[in-house]
Amino acid sequence: MATQMQLARQGIITEAMLQVAAQEQLAPEVIRAGVAAGTIAVCCNINHKNLVPRGVGQGLAVKVNANIGTSSAYPDPEPELAKLRAAIDAGADSVMDLSTGDNIDASRKAIIAASTVMVGTVPIYQATVETIKKRGAVVEMTKEDLFEVIRQQAADGADFMTIHCGINRQVLHALVSEGRVMDVVSRGGSFITGWMLHNDRENPLYEYYDEILDICAEYDVTISLGDGLRPGCLADATDRAQIQELLNLGELTQRAWQRGVQVMVEGPGHVPYNQIAANMQLQKRLCHGAPFYVLGPLVTDIAPGYDHITSAIGGTLAAVSGADFLCYVTPAEHLGLPDIDDVREGVIATRIAAHAADIAKGLPQAIAWDREMAVARKNLDWPEQIRLALDPVKAQAYRDKKNKAEDEACSMCGDYCAVKIVGQYLEAHRKKQ
């Protein structure tokens, strides 16, 4: 079966492309051309049966991902299904199953079966967990262990997979020789780095990359090229190791496109605000316009408990500067596994960042949404304001808590509502004209 990219190059507009075009209010040919060129990815595994496809990339609304998944401390998959529902209800465009607890296969299959949004996975997590159970240490993992998991997750319906292919010996040399404050903070990156250092061998994900592309092409999995050396603190941002890995990802992007495999490229991380735009522009140049998927970026290291805010601040600038896909950060980041409330807060904060960027980029539907809200506020039309709110549930709760049901204005100004007063005088003035 041909991939979305292969079909697009044949001039074929698929059903998935039509759905994306309708969502984005764009001509289907715009989506087809973007998929053919690699600047748009439509992530839809042939085995994810209840998926409503979404597009990620140039000219489209910025998309938002929510991470869920079990851990060794919380191995029960049921709460993760509840988080999936919360993420979708809050408006996430995708979820990633980052499970490392027991029953990883069962958890992933349940999430994919229940998800109407695209689902991403990180195969090395499962390969590491299973290797440790069988042989006691991640450094005992074999190429076969890794590739068996990649194939299984693809067959199960993962729409995109984060594969840490960009770390090779040259990148590792840059990391060791330059030094970092926090070294490696990516879990997948740490597994690969530890394996390479211990075994003194090349990264099998880099060495046997073409075999990964074979699997991705078979199931139409979008490969999300993981940034295993993303900076974990501001002091490590934009260093030689990060940029060397990015250079590799640019090469790997082209190799995937040659095989008709769709690509997203992952990026930082923790980045000082004044370096964000340069990071985005560098990625777009080096990776030939491939969709860029960033974690945050977080603009300060000192706000645990509020990292959904530090992430949203960086996310808006990142998206304005070229990022296409924002991975949420929750208030629990750096502190613990997020609960349902954390998931909701993370999605909403990241959606605000994405929408602000969409306005700055001039997307008509984003601008129209804000204008509709302004008109509803001018008219003191509370039901319409709640309907238009990005988070109607929270907006309604605040409205009910802070005001009496019969109040026309809000309790902030009460009888001295600026909108109401000026509206009355303007109306009177116009009647005199």
C-alpha to C-alpha distance for 34 and 164, rounded to whole angstroms? 25
Q: Of 68, 35, 90, 85, nearest to 220 (Cα)?
A: 35
Structure token pair of residue 304: 């645990």
Q: Is 67 annotated as a binding residue?
A: yes
Q: Is 227 annotated as a binding residue?
A: yes
- What distances in angstroms separate CA 8 from CA 81, 303, 304, one per listed residue? 34, 44, 44
Q: Is 410 annotated as a binding residue?
A: yes
Q: In terms of residues, how long is the chain?
A: 433
Euclidean distance between the first and final Cα of the chain, in Å? 70
Q: Is 307 annotated as a binding residue?
A: no
HSE on the CB side for 373, CA within 13 Å? Answer: 14
Q: Is 105 annotated as a binding residue?
A: no
In a 3-state reduction of DSSP, which class is residue 94? strand
C-alpha to C-alpha distance for 65 and 9, rounded to whole angstroms? 28
Contact 291, 265 (CB under 8 A): yes
Phi then psi for residue 388, to 5 deg, are: -85, -10
Q: Is 413 annotated as a binding residue?
A: yes
Phi then psi for residue 422, to 5 deg, are: -65, -35
C-alpha to C-alpha distance for 282 and 165, rounded to whole angstroms? 19
C-alpha to C-alpha distance for 287 and 230, rounded to whole angstroms? 16
- What distances in angstroms separate CA 146 from CA 150, 296, 299, 418, one per listed residue? 6, 28, 34, 63
Q: How many CB atoms lie within 10 A of CB 272?
A: 17
C-alpha to C-alpha distance for 300 and 270, rounded to whole angstroms? 7
Q: Is 32 annotated as a binding residue?
A: no
Q: Is 417 annotated as a binding residue?
A: yes
Q: Is 293 annotated as a binding residue?
A: yes
Q: Is 415 annotated as a binding residue?
A: no
Give the annotated binding-site residues.
67, 96, 125, 164, 186-188, 227-230, 266, 270, 293, 334, 410, 413, 417
Binding residue ranges for substrate:
67, 96, 125, 164, 186-188, 227-230, 266, 293
Q: Which residues are annotated as a binding site for Zn(2+)?
A: 270, 334
The binding site for [4Fe-4S] cluster comprises: 410, 413, 417
